[in-house]
Amino acid sequence: MNNPVLLQNLRNIPDFPIKGIQFKDVSTLFKNPECLRIMVEELYEMFKDKGITKVVGIESRGFVVGAALALRLGAGFVMCRKPRKLPADTRKATYMKEYGEDTIEIHSDAISEDDVVLLHDDLLATGGSMKAAYGLVKEFNPRKVYLNFIIELTIEGLNGRAAFDNETEISTLIKI
């Protein structure tokens, strides 16, 4: 965790998307092949023995590493998207985030009760989007669900882990 190469390549953008937010730009990690390799390999090592059958990536930054990790794990990849982006029947959840309300959807046939699911996103701040995605995935009654983030913000007032019960397994690559 807190690999120095990842930390050195993570870009901070002040006042984005609104004043007062310190946006952690993971696109700098995605464009660097060494950083991308490090992230996928570190996550693979975390989850290779967990029996993951589906990786669910949350739009849109969760798609990048989530899809690469699914390939590496030999698992399927499921997109959790913004409204009206998925063509088939969906389930949806609305949630509050740091700077407004949002909704996410997942295909109604995306997950089965036999699946072991890894939910992946780029950032844990307040936990709103992941909690909504977690609730959607739990509706399918999979055997097990793990949560993972590239970055966890530990800034006072942003206790994203508090959005989940103590039995929810949460892992991150970087804590800042």
For 82, 105, 117, 134, 171, the CA distances from 56, given in Å and listed in that order, are: 14, 11, 7, 10, 15
Catalytic residue among 42, 72, 91, 98: 98
Q: Is 98 a catalytic residue?
A: yes
Question: Rg for the chain (alpha carbons), in Å?
Answer: 15
What is 72-134 written as a DSSP string? Answer: HHT-EEEEEBSTT-SSS-EEEEEEEETTEEEEEEEETTS--TT-EEEEEEEEESS-HHHHHHH
- The one-letter code for the residue type at 70 is A
- Residues in the chain, overall count: 176
Catalytic residue of the set 59, 61, 81, 152: 61
Name the residues annotated as catalytic: 61, 98
